[in-house]
């Protein structure tokens, strides 16, 4: 299974050996993991850029493997893609995001927003809208982070119409990884998102190199011109956070504030806060 086109999978199977049979074995392991509830939601907080108060969180999938510990999505999303199970993965994670919302409500600490990642294949799924409409328990602050917007026009469905119907359900739309090859300017015109999530690759150096800060300023001003908010991810230091607040970013996410954590940890942290 060692082909260039499968780079990410090779990196993963390297631990176990690179044979075709071990790759097939990995696929089977992942398929079982989904049905055995080993795919779980972690959450990373987002803060208001000015006040640094927690405003919401992004839900990030993890594979809790019985022997290998916590495995990151970069290692199992390619398996899900190969098995055509990304839409199912996203659905499972949405269910856990809704559970989190209920738990936070129960301790009297609801978050303003709970964001989930939505793959292009899930957006194209003919059952997505009816599934969403059937749920009585959609959180008020639910956000869909749309991935791979560069490829949306190759899908067989009218994605702009689907996204518009999703907005009608009260779900906010954000374009993920904005500024990278995965997310295009055209997608802003087509989807009219509530916010752009500016990719973490643009963050390092904004506090030390003027040209880096200028590039970030331009990205934020693109969002402003379209009336969209900005969330900047990958913020690792408080110095970067300070510059971003000055440049007018709305929300920040990154190790400077918190690492992705289990749902239980987040609920404990939130219930311990007197205010937020
Ligand atoms: P993403 O949506 O761009 O998520 C942000 C990634 O940046 C996460 O990686 C997060 O852990 C990481 N991160 C957060 N703060 C920092 C920081 O300060 N510095 C750096 N260097 N990184 C930071 P993670 O959790 O490994 O997820 C990787 C990607 O996997 C995500 O990128 C997303 O595209 C995908 N993914 C995660 N969960 C799901 C899911 O439920 N469904 C789908 N379809 N994709 C998912
Ligand atoms: Ca995301
Ligand atoms: Ca992102
Ligand atoms: Ca990313």
CA distance 104 to 205: 36
Tell me which residue of 64, 113, 122, 120 sits closest to 89, measured CA to CA: 122
CA distance 155 to 269: 41
Identify the nearest ligand to the CA of 234 by its number.
1
How far is ligand 1, taken at its centre, from the CA of residue 131, in Å?
25
Helices (H) and strands (E) in the chain, counts: 11, 10
Give the closest residue (by CA) to ligand 1 atom 12. 234
Q: What share of the chain is helix, strand, coil (3-state, %, to 5)?
A: 45, 20, 35
Which residues does a 6 A CB cutoff place in the pocket of ligand 1?
44, 60-61, 72-74, 77, 86, 89-90, 93, 117, 119, 147, 176-177, 200, 233-236, 254-255, 260
pTM given for the model: 0.92
Q: Are 199 and 178 in contact (CB under 8 A)?
A: yes
- CA 123-126-128 angle, to 5 degrees, is 55
How far is ligand 4, taken at its centre, from the CA of residue 66, in Å?
26
Q: Looking up tokens 């993965």, which residue turns up?
A: 89
97-147 pLDDT, tens digit each = 999 999 999 999 999 999 999 998 899 888 999 999 999 889 999 999 998
Query: How would you classify residue 201: left for phi > 0, otherwise alpha for psi between -120 and 50, otherwise beta?
Result: alpha
How far is ligand 1, taken at its centre, from the CA of residue 76, in Å?
12
Give the chain's residues under pLDDT 50.
1-13, 276
Give the closest residue (by CA) to ligand 1 atom 22. 234
Say what the pLDDT of residue 49 is.
98
Give the closest residue (by CA) to ligand 1 atom 23. 234
C-alpha distances out from residue 140 to 56, 89, 100, Å: 12, 22, 13
CA distance 115 to 111: 11
Burial 25-53 (b: 16+ CB within 10 A, else e): ebeebbeebbeeebbbbbbbbbbbbeeee
Give the closest residue (by CA) to ligand 1 atom 4. 60
Pocket mutation for ligand 1, best pick of 45, 71, 73, 93 (most atoms within 8 Å of C-beta): 73
How far is ligand 4, taken at its centre, from the CA of residue 70, in Å?
19
Say what the pLDDT of residue 61 is.
98
Q: Are 142 and 135 in contact (CB under 8 A)?
A: no
Q: Looking up tokens 């969180």, which residue turns up?
A: 57
Q: 220, exposed or middle or buried, with CB in 10 Å at 0-12, 13-18, 19+?
A: buried
Among the atoms of ligand 1, which is closest to the Cα of residue 86? Answer: 44
How far is ligand 3, taken at its centre, from the CA of residue 132, in Å?
23
């Amino acid at each position: 299974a060692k082909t260039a086109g499968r780079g990410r999978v090779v990196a993963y199977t390297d631990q176990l050996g690179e044979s075709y049979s071990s790759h097939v074995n990995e696929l089977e392991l992942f398929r079982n993991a989904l049905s055995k509830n080993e795919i779980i939601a972690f959450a990373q907080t987002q803060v208001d850029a000015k006040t640094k108060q927690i405003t919401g969180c992004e839900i990030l999938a993890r594979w809790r493997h019985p022997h290998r510990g916590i495995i990151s999505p970069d290692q199992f999303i390619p398996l899900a893609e190969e098995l055509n199970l990304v839409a199912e993965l996203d659905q499972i994670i949405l269910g856990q995001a809704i559970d989190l919302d209920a738990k936070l409500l129960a301790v009297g600490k609801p978050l303003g927003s709970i964001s989930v990642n939505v793959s292009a294949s899930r957006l194209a799924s003919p059952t997505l809208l009816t599934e969403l409409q059937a749920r009585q328990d959609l959180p008020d602050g639910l956000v869909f982070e749309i991935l791979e917007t560069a490829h949306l026009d190759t899908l067989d469905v009218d994605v702009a119409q689907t996204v518009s119907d999703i907005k009608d359900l009260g779900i906010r739309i954000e374009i993920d990884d904005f500024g990278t090859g995965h997310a295009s300017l055209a997608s802003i015109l087509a989807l009219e998102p509530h916010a752009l999530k500016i990719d973490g690759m643009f963050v390092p150096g904004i506090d030390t190199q003027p040209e880096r800060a200028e590039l970030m300023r331009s990205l934020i001003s693109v969002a402003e011109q379209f009336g969209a908010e900005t969330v900047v991810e990958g913020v690792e230091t408080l110095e970067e956070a300070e510059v971003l607040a000055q440049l007018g970013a709305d929300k920040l996410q990154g190790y400077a504030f918190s690492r992705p954590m289990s749902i239980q940890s987040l609920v404990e942290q939130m219930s311990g806060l007197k205010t937020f």
